[in-house]
Amino acid sequence: MCLGIPGQIVAVADEDAMLCVVDVSGVRRSVDVVCVAEPGAPLSDLVGAWVLVHVGFAMSRIDEEEAAATLKVLTEIGEAAAEMEALTKGSVDLYPARTQ
């Protein structure tokens, strides 16, 4: 299953490449922020923002309460561990094997 997992932008990694560092429950990865950046605004304006991260992209902005609630639900249903493992390894399997 592919999920967006909440993370907080903690730093700008590369302004020209539109990359920021996102912290997801203690795991930090560079992600593309082109979908959430304001045109013409510096990426430093995003530091502190909460976003949903999916396959190396920040897909949308969310507030801190929504981030906490989403992480809680993902943990409860056991999906957070798989997403955290993918973030830790730095890759996500876009086409996982399916069993019938």
Q: Does 48 reside within a domain?
A: yes
Yes or no: say if 10 and 1 are a contact pair by the CB < 8 Å rule: no
If we measure between CA atoms, which residue out of 12, 7, 87, 5 comes closest to residue 46? Answer: 12
| DSSP-derived pairing of the beta strands 50-54 and 27-32 | unpaired
Residue 99 counted as domain residue: no
Give 55-96 pLDDT, tens digit per residue: 899 999 999 999 999 888 888 887 656 666 666 666 444 334
Task: Pull the structure tokens for residue 75.
Answer: 């943990």
Say what the pTM is: 0.74
Q: Which range marks the domain in which residue 42 is found?
A: 5-89
> Is 17 a member of any domain?
yes
Q: Rounded distance, CA 92 to CA 17, Å?
A: 20
Query: Is residue 53 a part of any domain in this protein?
Result: yes
Task: Tell me if 18 is assigned to some domain.
Answer: yes
Please indicate, yes or no, if residue 97 is contained in any of the structural domains: no
95 located within any domain: no
pLDDT tens by residue, 3-34: 789 999 999 999 999 999 999 889 999 999 99
Domains in the chain, number: 1
Alpha-carbon distance 97 to 80, whole Å? 19
Give the CATH number, domain containing residue 61: 2.30.30.140
